[in-house]
Amino acid sequence: MSYETLIVETRGNVGLVTLNRPQALNALNSTVLKELKEAYAAFHADETVGAIVLTGSERAFAAGADIKEMQPLQFADIYKSDFISGWDEVAKARKPVIAAVSGFALGGGCELAMMCDFIIASETAKFGQPEITLGVIPGMGGSQRLTRAVGKAKAMDLILTGRMMDAAEAERSGLVSRVVASERLIDEALAAAEKIASLSRPSVMMAKEAVNRAFETTLEEGLRFERRLFHSLFATDDQKEGMAAFVEKRKPAFTHR
């Protein structure tokens, strides 16, 4: 399949998606959304792919939403069409997605990075939700996911002022998992994704579900949900293989069943 706004590759057992609108600093528009959903669907259907890496260019992961596309829209139109709700599908990817961020990740770009399961950033990365400077607020989850990641005080600071934070501040705040040298960014992200892809697919997917549930429910219900998933994994071949391999001091050969 050919893409207008993405470069889509497979590296080993990892799907690699690169945002490719250099003339617009990878600004997100309806075409990017459509193609990203198609790329994710293809990787989810490919049983050899165990994880996905999403990245942009060295200058910009994604500098925001495409303002030229949004500027003429009217309330009635965007309300009736439930404008930008399609991005929720991207956030619901079942296989793990790692954001590899270099340069600007602003507005929708920051929100897209937060839709991923974790973020690896280069030293040049800059994050922000500057929508307030345009007379609007974040609309793709920024006020919700950023607050969950960094806490109320930091989220209020960033969203109300529209300022950017660098990679070091983002890591201290808990938004970013780790910061690496720019020239190592893709290699580090691919290595992390390949490690995930080497593990039991059912276990990985359930682990992702369990962590995400922590932000959606009470502790009591979250613990109950975790236990149910934990118990269910004892019905898999991979649990038998993984524990046998540990006892026998060998590397497990997971079949993802």
* Full set of structural domains in the chain with CATH: 6-197 (3.90.226.10), 201-247 (1.10.12.10)
Residue 131 catalytic?
A: yes
pLDDT (0 to 100) of residue 45: 97
**Active-site hit among 111, 193, 197, 207:** 111
Tokens representing 102 are 């270099």
**Active-site hit among 93, 131, 167, 197:** 131
pLDDT (0 to 100) of residue 70: 82
Tokens representing 197 are 């892809």
- Find out whether 180 and 192 touch, Cβ atoms under 8 Å: no
Q: What is the pTM of this model?
A: 0.94
**Active-site hit among 64, 108, 109, 142:** 108
pLDDT (0 to 100) of residue 90: 92
**Active-site hit among 60, 65, 93, 192:** 65
pLDDT (0 to 100) of residue 5: 97
CA distance 223 to 217: 10
pLDDT digits (tens, 9 = 90+) for 55-73: 999 999 999 988 888 888 8
Residue 108 catalytic?
A: yes
Counting as low any pLDDT under 70, the low residues of the chain are none
Residue 103 catalytic?
A: no
Residue 214 catalytic?
A: no
